[in-house]
């Protein structure tokens, strides 16, 4: 026969595990807020011929998209990762690192960028 304290300890552990699982599910499904200016900037970059080249496995690309929140879907994004390396489109564009931004004049901006840097690069004005 188990003691009362042993049963109480078991219930506490089970309760903590359930809370942990519920917390993970909640955080994973939490909607991502769109930062101020993100929608306008993403739209401007696209309209001004700026392209964002990235790879699904790249943590800096993921962080760059997360900075835009829900507006990331508006970014002019090209996926460069494929099973055996980089896609031909990205090779032809001269992409050697991720993320890389290329504007309509062919200038490159490599690495994770601030909104201000992207606005300047794309000829966009932030409010």
**pTM of the full predicted structure?**
0.73
Q: Where are the domains of the chain?
A: 1-30, 38-122
Task: Please state the CATH superfamily assignment of the domain spanning residues 38-122 in this structure.
Answer: Glutaredoxin (3.40.30.10)
Portion of the chain with pLDDT greater than 70, in percent: 77
CB count, 10 Å around CB of 16?
10
Per mean pLDDT, which range of 28-32, 35-39, 64-68 is the poorest?
28-32
pLDDT (tens digit, 9 = 90+) per residue, 57-104?
Answer: 999 999 999 999 999 999 999 999 998 899 999 999 999 999 999 999
């Amino acid at each position: 026969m188990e003691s009362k304290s042993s049963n109480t300890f078991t219930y506490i552990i089970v309760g903590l595990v359930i809370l942990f699982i519920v917390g993970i599910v909640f955080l994973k499904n939490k909607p991502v807020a769109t930062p101020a200016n993100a929608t306008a900037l993403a739209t401007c970059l696209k309209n001004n011929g700026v392209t964002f080249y990235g790879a699904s496995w790249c943590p800096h690309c993921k962080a760059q998209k997360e900075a835009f929140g829900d507006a990331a879907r508006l970014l002019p994004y090209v996926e460069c990762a494929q099973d055996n390396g980089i896609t031909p489109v990205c090779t032809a564009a001269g992409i050697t690192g991720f993320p890389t931004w290329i504007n309509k004049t062919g200038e490159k901006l490599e690495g994770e960028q601030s909104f201000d840097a992207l606005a300047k690069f794309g000829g966009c004005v932030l409010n």
